[in-house]
């Protein structure tokens, strides 16, 4: 299994600002994934982050709004830029060996 | 057509009975299949994964995969109140990304 930590666990931000979420995995992994979960909804994939290459974004998500870094095989960041209240959500990092996929505890973001 | 489909429920099952959760997927090239349990306010917890046709058992949980029918299921035997949660089906597509269904809310009634 993989143990995944995220920082911060929660934050309240003002409209128009940016927040960077950090994700740390306790082992080296090839792929890391960022998801968003809005209240009462399932998980929506934002992007896939591979070390050494540009992140791959899903339809409806763009790099200018959600820039991602992947500097090594155990760490990634997701930035939520120019935030609006619609960005209020739980953001989850996921990673693991090819046959399994684990989740971090999530970052609960509230935008006022 | 959604990539991964689940009945949203709620599914109500008496304690001690078998809970059956179902999932269909659209990408025939999908490689592996996951079931997660999510309690309110918590992140998803992996409970089963399967990638070969047939059944895979782990304790009270059995995952069933039928690639020809593009169908995955999860059986929970001897259901307990602590099994009450949302169960998420997830599929690793041919593009290696993991896509989630909308989840099924399961309620175990005493």
| Interface touch A42/B34, C-beta < 8 Å | no
Give the minimum alpha-carbon distance from A81 to chain B in angstroms, rounded to a whole number: 23
DSSP letter at B82? G
Subunit contact B100:A43, Cβ cutoff 8 A: yes
Report the C-alpha gap between A66 and A77 in whole angstroms. 10
Q: Write the DSSP assignment of A67-110 as a string of letters.
A: -EEEEETTEEEEEE-S--GGG-EEEEEEE-STT--EE---EEEE
Query: Is A57 within 8 Å of chain B by CB?
Result: no
Question: What is the pLDDT averaged over residues A58-85?
Answer: 96
Say how far apart CA A53 and CA A67 lie, in whole Å: 13
CA A59 – CA B21 distance, rounded (Å) = 28
CA B46 to chain CA mean position, Å: 10
d(CA A12, CA A18): 11
Q: What pLDDT does A51 receive?
A: 83
What is the pLDDT at residue A40? 85
**Residue ranges of chain B with per-residue pLDDT less than 50:** none
pLDDT band per the 50, 70, 90 thresholds, residue A107 = very high
Asked if B88 lies within 8 A of A43 by C-beta distance, the reply is yes
Position B1 scores a pLDDT of 65
Q: What is the pLDDT of residue A10?
A: 97
Q: Quote the pLDDT of residue A97.
A: 78
Residues B62-75: tens digit of each pLDDT: 999 999 999 999 99
Share of chain A above pLDDT 70, in %: 100
Residue A93 to residue B81: CA distance in whole angstroms? 29
* Closest CA–CA distance from residue A43 to any residue of chain B (Å): 6
In this prediction, residues A32-38 reach a mean pLDDT of 95
pLDDT range class, residue A45, cuts 50, 70, 90 = very high
């Amino acid at each position: 299994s993989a143990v995944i930590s995220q920082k911060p666990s929660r934050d309240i931000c003002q409209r128009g600002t940016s927040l960077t979420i950090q994700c740390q995995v306790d082992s080296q992994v090839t792929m890391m994934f960022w998801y968003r979960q809005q209240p009462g909804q399932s998980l929506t994939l934002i992007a896939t982050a591979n070390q050494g290459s540009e992140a791959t974004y899903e339809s409806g998500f763009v790099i200018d709004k959600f820039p991602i870094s992947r500097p090594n095989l155990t760490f990634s960041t997701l930035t939520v830029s120019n935030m609006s209240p619609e960005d209020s959500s739980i953001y989850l990092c996921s990673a693991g060996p090819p046959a399994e996929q684990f989740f971090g505890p999530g970052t609960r973001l509230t935008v006022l | 057509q959604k990539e991964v489909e689940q009945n949203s429920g709620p599914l109500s099952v008496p304690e001690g009975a078998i809970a059956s959760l179902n999932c269909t997927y659209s990408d025939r090239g999908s490689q592996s299949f996951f079931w997660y349990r999510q309690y309110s306010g918590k992140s998803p917890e992996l409970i089963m994964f399967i990638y070969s046709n047939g059944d895979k058992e782990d304790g009270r949980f059995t995952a069933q995969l039928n690639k020809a029918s593009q169908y995955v299921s999860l059986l929970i035997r001897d259901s307990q109140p602590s099994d009450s949660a949302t169960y998420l089906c997830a599929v690793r597509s041919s593009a290696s990304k993991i896509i989630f269904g909308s989840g099924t809310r399961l309620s175990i009634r005493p």
